[in-house]
A = this chain, B = another copy of it.
């Protein structure tokens, strides 16, 4: 039995971007990780041209940082960038939530409930990677309902950057703790009753709580082994 199908359709740059984004969302790719062209070529079975295009697109979304003659590295948002990203999220998600409250159909609510169940399941089975991704996707699901593509795509970028930020500055265990309040469920509840005010309030608190769990004291540059191990820099 072969590992690949008979045709093995070649992956496009968008496919690779999606894979990288998913990995970032599940925190399997940490900020500072070096991505060499050759390795990704091998992993995805594509030419250097495709990988290169993927890097360019990812750099436009601030997911990877592209340094001249030095290649691609998973971005390491600074504390100030982190603050701005969450500020932007509060702004955009408030607007999206208002729209979603107007537009949400019964089917939408049902889908959101199903999503909440998945989150709960992932948490109970201790599948943290899956839970982390689902948590991010919940916000994107809400954004989709709002029906504004530019805002949706923008929030998508912000969610991915948030993932990088949490990986960098998040206190371990705090993420799960912040789930205690079950804010996602409360947001859907408010959405169902058309209570836009409450939904916005909960969302604002939710985002602020996530941001408040961040700890900027330690190393600014993630993935720097020297700092991680408390060693001085070589050269």
Given A53-B56, A56-B56, A85-B150; 6 other pairs, CB 8 A cutoff: A84-B147, A87-B151, A88-B154, A92-B92, A150-B154, A150-B157
Q: Are B56 and A151 in contact, with the CB atoms below 8 A?
A: no
Q: How far is the CB of A11 from chain B (nearest CB, A)?
A: 15
Q: Which of B87, B150, B151, B161 contacts A148 (CB 8 A)?
A: B87
Chain B residue numbers with a CB within 8 Å of A60 are 57, 60-61
Chain A 69-110 per-residue mask, 1 if CB under 8 angstroms from chain B, else 0 = 000000000000100110110011001000000000000000
Judge if A127 is at the interface, Cβ distance under 8 Å.
no
- Number of A residues near B (Cβ < 8 Å) is 22
Copies in the complex: 2
Judge if A158 is at the interface, Cβ distance under 8 Å.
yes
Q: Which of B85, B92, B150, B158 contacts A158 (CB 8 A)?
A: B150
Judge if A15 is at the interface, Cβ distance under 8 Å.
no
Mind listing 23 A-B residue pairs with CB under 8 Å? A53-B56, A56-B56, A56-B57, A57-B60, A60-B60, A60-B61, A81-B149, A84-B148, A84-B149, A84-B150, A87-B148, A87-B151, A88-B148, A88-B151, A88-B154, A91-B91, A91-B95, A91-B151, A92-B92, A150-B154, A150-B157, A150-B158, A150-B161
Distance between Cα atoms of A154 and B85 in the complex (Å): 12
